[in-house]
Structure 1
Amino acid sequence: MVRGDYRLSDVVLDDTIGRSTPDVEHERAVAIFDLIEENSFEPAGHGGGPYRLGLSLVDSKLVFDIRTEDGGLVATHILSLTPFRRIVKDYFTICESYYDAIRSATPSRIEAIDMGRRGIHNEGSQTLMDRLNGKIGLDFDTARRLFTLVCVLYWRG
């Protein structure tokens, strides 16, 4: 293990939940690809990775299973989804509007919806950073990509 290598090398979503719509699956694939390409992920009190992250929903809670590349357990963090419910619901609603708009709306309408979508996504990302504060250090771009995956799990669950 290289000390100080605070990044994710792999992310796995709970496959027992099943698949979703093509739009949601595309969001998942892009978020995982982007997350692996560039991220900052520092579990508190651990000397360095890289890390493998398993994300799942268990009893309506979000589970972060963090392991070293060789499979050694680093930490498991379980977060209540309650602080995310309104944000995720709003995000789903605006994403549906966005997907509908890109098929038929004017460019200015699409841009307006996308700005709202990004604003809600940023709010969810900040909430995730706040909930992980003291447990996992993240930069904002990493939090944004992880929030996308939280939404995918929520959509599928």
Structure 2
Amino acid sequence: MSEDCAQDERQTRARLTAVTLDETSIERSSPDIEHERAVAIFDLIAENSFEPIGDEAGGPYHLSLAVVEKRLHLVVTRESGDLVVTHVLSLGPLRRILKDYFLICESYYAAIRTATPSQIEAIDMGRRGVHNEGSELLSERLKGKIELDHQTARRLFTLICALYRKG
């Protein structure tokens, strides 16, 4: 098999094909937030690079997210439903970034109504910077557990934000 074919096969296997939210631990929210969650899941599934460290059999994978006692449970299974691994992350280290991100998003939405285009652009640049900081911290927290690229970390952080957004 050529090196390019091997790389294509790995990219096909090292990915998520489904993401679900545990309905018993993640409360339903307003229609707007439910839509935001659905879009975040769609974007994550559409393009990602996701592989549990040490899984020799490979994917593609399904990811189920649950929040239990202020911890994020990431349950990774194969498409067949066979459990691959479960990782539990304390979200304490992300709380400050989540709070900052929500505050800057509020500022952005308020600015859209009254600010100049250059002010809106400056706020949006700050929002993207905080989003990058959150995705980098998430990558650090998953290091040695799940291998994912920067864009996948960004999309997963977006989904976590949508889970914690208040209605």
Residue number among 123, 141, 146 corresponding to 2:133 in the alignment: 123
Partners of 1:41 and 1:138 within 8 A in 2: yes
What residue ranges of structure 1 are gaps of 5+ in the alignment?
none
Q: Per-residue deviation at 1:26? A: 3.9
Contact 2:40–2:162 (CA under 8 A) maintained in structure 1? no
Q: For this pair of structures, how many residues does the alignment match?
A: 154
Give deviations 1:58-106, integer Å, cap 9, x for gaps.
1000110111111111111000111101000000101111122223322
Identity of aligned residues (%): 64
Gaps of 5+ in 2: 1-8
Instruction: Answer yes or no: is the 8 Å Cα contact 2:65–2:73 preserved in 1.
Output: yes
Q: 1:106 to 1:14 in 2, by over 3 A?
A: farther
Following TM superposition, the consecutive aligned residue runs of length 4 or more in structure 1 with deviations greater than 4 angstroms are none
Aligned to 1:140: 150
User: Are the aligned partners of 2:59 and 2:79 in contact in 1 as well (CA < 8 Å)?
Assistant: yes
Q: How far is 1:140 from its partner? A: 0.3
**TM-score, normalisation: structure 1:** 0.90
CA distance in 1 between partners of 2:34 and 2:117 (Å): 25
- Cα distance per residue 1:95-136 (max 9 Å; x no partner): 111122223322112111110100000000000000000000
Larger radius of gyration: 2
Alignment of 1:33-112 (within 5 A): 33-46=42-55, 47-112=57-122
Q: TM-score, normalised by structure 2?
A: 0.85
Q: Which residue matches 2:41?
A: 32
